[in-house]
Amino acid sequence: MTDRTVAVLAGGLSHERDVSLRSGRRLSNALREAGLHVEEWDVDATLAGRLTAGRPDAVVVALHGGAGENGAVQSVLEMMRVPYVGTDPRACRRAWDKPTAKDELARAGLSTPDWVTLPHATFRDLGAPDVLDALVAWLGLPLVLKPPQGGSALGLHVVREVTELPGAIVGCLAYGDSVLAERLVEGVEVAVTVLDEPDGPRALPAVEINATSGLYDYAARYTAGLATFHAPARLDAAAAAAVADLALSAHRLLGLRDVSRTDAVLTPDG
């Protein structure tokens, strides 16, 4: 076993705390199996002090949501000159905000569903019924509503009928002060991991995701039996290459580092 210490940061205070603790345990176990000395840190207001007092040789950020994904923790690590695995603060902020990331990808010619972002105040100040009518006229139905920031599909709603919109808006706003509305795209859902290697980034084989309910929401992600996975995904060679290229392009365009995951939906027409 090496005498170097790796601190795995997990937990925190976001809505995704429990998921983060689970990720942290799995990462810690894998690193120990690789022969590293690992400490698991549940992140709270003592983090900066702990980094000073028990300075690790490197940090792995296993935080989900909030400060762990929006670049805040990474900024602290850089200020304290603590090496860490993962994306730098600026790119974290770019990827954390879904509308910003979508805009970057769309400008580069990558396919992303049509969308609009509506702050909470828009519904209050401009008249919720008329705003909802305009939203449906603009994007049509069905729609996907989600918070612009955050993960684990918290606040995710699929709207197929106009009558479902108000409740979905309220549910989405429980996790932030804005709503990201996208045109629903249906097809084969896949996730592609990209790893940075000495000769450049490499896409791993896509994983196909099938939620039993048809919606890969929080429950489907973290409840046994509510989703099945195929690794590699059941795609022909051309489709597999296309989603790999998409993930590599997103990794480069957003300035991601070390490891990233891109979620995509492959439609019947490709």
pLDDT in tens, 176-207: 999 999 999 999 999 999 999 999 999 999 99
Q: Do 262 and 190 share a structural domain?
A: yes
Q: Do 53 and 122 share a structural domain?
A: no
Whether residue 104 is contained in a domain is answered as no
Q: Do 155 and 126 share a structural domain?
A: yes
Whether residue 105 is contained in a domain is answered as no
Query: Domain count of the chain?
Result: 3
Supply the pTM of this predicted model.
Answer: 0.92
Q: Do 179 and 193 share a structural domain?
A: no
Q: Give per-residue pLDDT as tens, 109-162.
A: 999 999 999 999 999 999 999 999 999 999 999 999 999 998 889 999 999 999
Whether residue 91 is contained in a domain is answered as no
Q: Give per-residue pLDDT as tens, 60-73.
A: 999 999 899 999 99
- Which CATH number do you get for residue 49? 3.40.50.20
Q: Do 254 and 192 share a structural domain?
A: yes
pLDDT reading at 168 higher than 90: yes
Q: Do 169 and 120 share a structural domain?
A: yes
Whether residue 125 is contained in a domain is answered as yes
Q: Give per-residue pLDDT as tens, 83-102.
A: 999 999 999 999 999 999 99
Q: Do 245 and 218 share a structural domain?
A: yes
Tell me the pLDDT of the chain averaged across its residues. 95
Whether residue 160 is contained in a domain is answered as yes
Q: Do 207 and 174 share a structural domain?
A: no
Domain residues for 25? 5-85
- Which CATH number do you get for residue 260? 3.30.470.20
- Which CATH number do you get for residue 173? 3.30.1490.20
Whether residue 197 is contained in a domain is answered as yes
| pLDDT value, residue 57 | 96
Q: What is the DSSP track for 36-84?
A: -EEEEEE-STTHHHHHHHT--SEEEE---SGGGTSSHHHHHHHHTT--E
Q: Do 192 and 175 share a structural domain?
A: no
| pLDDT value, residue 101 | 97
Q: What is the DSSP track for 147-170?
A: -SS--TTTT-EEE-SGGGHHHHHH
Q: What is the DSSP track for 174-231?
A: TT-SEEEEEE---SEEEEEEEEEETTEEEEPPPEEEEETTS---HHHHHSTTSEEEES
